[in-house]
Amino acid sequence: MTIIGWVQIALYCAVLVAVTPLLGGYMTRVFAGEANFLSPVLRPVENALYRVGGVDPQGEQHWLTYTIAMLLFHIGGFAILYALLRLQALLPLNPQEQSAVAPDLSFNTAISFITNTNWQNYGGESTLSYLVQMLGLTHQNFLSAATGIVLAVALIRGFARASMKTIGNFWVDITRCTLYVLIPICIPYALFLVWQGMPQTLGAYVDATTLEGARQTIAVGPVASQVAIKMLGTNGGGFFNANAAHPFENPTALSNFVQMLSIFVLGAALTNVFGRMVGNQRQGWAILAAMGVLFITGVLVAYWAEANGTQMLDALGITGGNMEGKEVRFGIVASALFAVVTTAASCGAVNAMHDSFTALGGMIPLINMELGEIVVGGVGAGLYGMLLFVILTVFVAGLMVGRTPEYVGKKIEAKEVKMAMLAILILPLMILGWTAVAVVYPPAVASMANSGPHGFSEVLYAYSSQTGNNGSAFAGLTGNTLFYNTTGAVAMFIGRFWMIVPAMAIAGTLAAKKSVPASHGTFPTTGALFVGLLVGVILIIGGLTFFPALALGPIVEHLAMQAGTVF
């Protein structure tokens, strides 16, 4: 562990905290429908879109209408993407003449991209045409990200409003989110990436002759535009199979730093949007602080584990920590930090192979995903997931001040608790359930690259990643089989929408409630005490559920490694 490593981590956190209130303020205005500096250019576009779509921008929706609109939108998105994948051989912009994608892989991939997971059971450069990458994937990268954000905003409105039946208009929200937030950030961001050396071309792959005289095909394509939204929207689906470890997908140390920032920036800003909309920014900071505690703890453990390496490496005379599976360009700290960031948020882009991390270093990404990716989290999804835990925390501990629990002026009652529990149940059901099936189903076991606890971790990681809509892979596991394609798609679908529907139901009931003014008797939710409490509840309820599985995976692997056994 080096000084320069600590400086990188500190700098990362400082920049993030500095950007949060600025972007938060801007996004609050966007979702309140107020004019901003982009309005003169974008307002006509926005209004034209409403006219084309027949949307009344003033008409607000009940939570159920809002949710149904969102679901319809996704069914449409799924159909288009599935069709594109199946028909890509017949469609233009296919210079490499990629053939049609198999049905189960298409199903998995389509679900993966509409759920903001971007789990990839394929290699992009060897499977997909430019048209599918741009029209199918990049398109869903924008919309699935925008969906996450608007759902979070709708839930925030539930907390912020009082005695109202509606929580906003899905069509208006998603239009404004894409037009005013995602696109304006992505355009300069993509240009920045091109400047850093990333390709942006529709030309065919380049044939080159290496120094040894061998012929090599170098894959290129419209990379920068996809990478910008892949990071900003916490999608994580790489243009290339190697994802952000590929020199064309992450050319420099600077591009690496900016990519890490862009994964967290919208999720962090949403905590500030929450604070502003409920009328007290400190409420937002408290949530970000709880996320921060979990995040920094994760970074410290991962960095420590990777920097210390293993006894086996020491015995071989290799010093300087565990560099296996890491890019020399980034080194240990940038790889460990990236791994924690990408799994804390539901991004899933990787710049190092998590499979090659030490047992404990690899356990941190696993825990991040199993907690439901609420540490900043996927854009929007992180905040609404965190708010579900907040509801449970406030309910359990809030009783201890002798009042019906309240949070930002809303009483937390049976309906909210029921919905929060319903949503949180999904994590153990999908993650532990599918893992339990896979580890005893011979064809599924055959997909594991390693035996013993490490193989177990690969499967556990796969379902954690898919249920949490993360999309990063532990590598090692051959995912493109009928079993993993199908069960993974189910995990991704349920993991996304079974979380969303209860969260929206909460938004609806909260919006309809009166707002209770705070007093001396009100449970305080802005201080260090609350932050500590929230972290405690997340670790006990969210974390302990997975303790048996973790004990049989990374923990036992770590202990075995100390005793000299590797898997």
Partner 1 sequence: METSKLRKRMPVATLLDPAIIGPAIGQAFVKLNPKTLAKNPVMFVLEMVTLLTTVLLLRDIAVHAGNIVFELQIVIWLWFTVLFANFAEAVAEGRGKAQADTLRRTRTETRAKRILMPNNHEVYEGVSADRLEAGDLVVCEAGDIIPGDGEVIEGIASVNEAAVTGESAPVIRESGGDRSAVTGGTTVISDRIVIKITSSPGSSFLDRMIKLVEGAERQKTPNEIALNILLVGLTIIFVFAAATIPSYAAYAGGTISVVVLVALFVTLIPTTIGALLSAIGIAGMDRLVRFNVLAVSGRAVEAAGDVDTLLLDKTGTVTFGNRLATELIPVPGVTEKEAAEAALLASDADETAEGRSIIAMAQEKYSVRGQVGAKGAEFIPFSATTRLSGVDIGGRKLRKGAIDSILKFAREQSGQNVSEPPAFRAAVDRIARSGGTPLGLADNGRLLGVIHLKDVVKPDVKDRFGALRRMGIKTVMITGDNPVTAASIASEAGVDDFIAEATPEDKLRYIRSEQAHGRLIAMCGDGTNDAPALAQADVGVAMQTGTQAAREAGNMVDLDSDPTKLIEVVEIGKQLLMTRGALTTFSIANDVAKYFAIIPAMFVAFYPQLQVLNVMRLATPQSAILSAIVFNALIIVALIPLALKGVKYRPIGAAALLRRNLLIYGLGGVIMPFIGIKLIDLAVTALHLA
Contact residues for partner 1, defined by CB under 8 A: 162, 392, 395-404, 409, 412-414, 416-418, 421-422, 424-425, 428-429, 432-433, 435-437, 439-440, 445, 452-453, 456, 514-517, 519-524, 527, 529, 533, 536-537, 540-541, 544-549, 551-552, 555-556, 559-560, 562-563
| Closer by beta carbon to partner 1, 214 or else 440 | 440
| Closer by beta carbon to partner 1, 347 or else 424 | 424
Answer for the pair 346, 383: CB distance below 8 angstroms, yes or no: no
Element (H, E) at 499: helix 482-512
| Closer by beta carbon to partner 1, 233 or else 453 | 453
Element (H, E) at 445: helix 442-446
**Rounded to the nearest whole angstrom, what is the least distance from the CB of residue 132 to partner 1 in the complex?**
37
| Closer by beta carbon to partner 1, 38 or else 397 | 397
Element (H, E) at 27: helix 3-31
| Closer by beta carbon to partner 1, 345 or else 359 | 359
Please state the φ and ψ torsions of residue 62, each to the nearest 5 degrees. -65, 155
**Rounded to the nearest whole angstrom, what is the least distance from the CB of residue 372 to partner 1 in the complex?**
12
Burial class (CB within 10 angstroms; exposed 0-12, middle 13-18, buried 19+) of 450? middle
List the alpha helices (DSSP H) in 161-310. 170-176, 183-195, 223-232, 253-277, 281-308
CA distance 268 to 33: 21
Answer for the pair 345, 12: CB distance below 8 angstroms, yes or no: no
**Rounded to the nearest whole angstrom, what is the least distance from the CB of residue 311 to partner 1 in the complex?**
14
**Rounded to the nearest whole angstrom, what is the least distance from the CB of residue 404 to partner 1 in the complex?**
5
| Closer by beta carbon to partner 1, 247 or else 548 | 548
**Rounded to the nearest whole angstrom, what is the least distance from the CB of residue 457 to partner 1 in the complex?**
11
What is the full DSSP assignment across 101-136?
PPHHHHHHHHHHHHTT----SS-HHHH--HHIIIII
| Closer by beta carbon to partner 1, 13 or else 445 | 445
| Closer by beta carbon to partner 1, 215 or else 520 | 520
**Rounded to the nearest whole angstrom, what is the least distance from the CB of residue 444 to partner 1 in the complex?**
10
| Closer by beta carbon to partner 1, 110 or else 556 | 556
Rounded to the nearest angstrom, the gap between the alpha carbon of residue 108 and the centroid of all alpha carbons in its chain is 17
Sorted by sequence, the CB contacts under 8 Å of residue 123 that are 6+ apart come out as 240, 241
Sorted by sequence, the CB contacts under 8 Å of residue 195 that are 6+ apart come out as none
**Rounded to the nearest whole angstrom, what is the least distance from the CB of residue 414 to partner 1 in the complex?**
4
| Closer by beta carbon to partner 1, 7 or else 528 | 528
Query: CA torsion angle for 188, 49, 20, 537 (degrees, to 10)?
Result: -130
Please state the φ and ψ torsions of residue 33, each to the nearest 5 degrees. 80, 15
CA distance 364 to 349: 16
**Rounded to the nearest whole angstrom, what is the least distance from the CB of residue 416 to partner 1 in the complex?**
8
**Rounded to the nearest whole angstrom, what is the least distance from the CB of residue 389 to partner 1 in the complex?**
13
Give Cα separations from 11 to 17, 18, 159, 258, 300 (angstroms): 10, 11, 33, 12, 15
**Rounded to the nearest whole angstrom, what is the least distance from the CB of residue 542 to partner 1 in the complex?**
9
Question: How far is the first Cα of the chain from the last one, in angstroms, to the nearest whole number?
Answer: 26
| Closer by beta carbon to partner 1, 57 or else 433 | 433
Cβ count near 75 (within 10 Å): 10
**Rounded to the nearest whole angstrom, what is the least distance from the CB of residue 490 to partner 1 in the complex?**
16
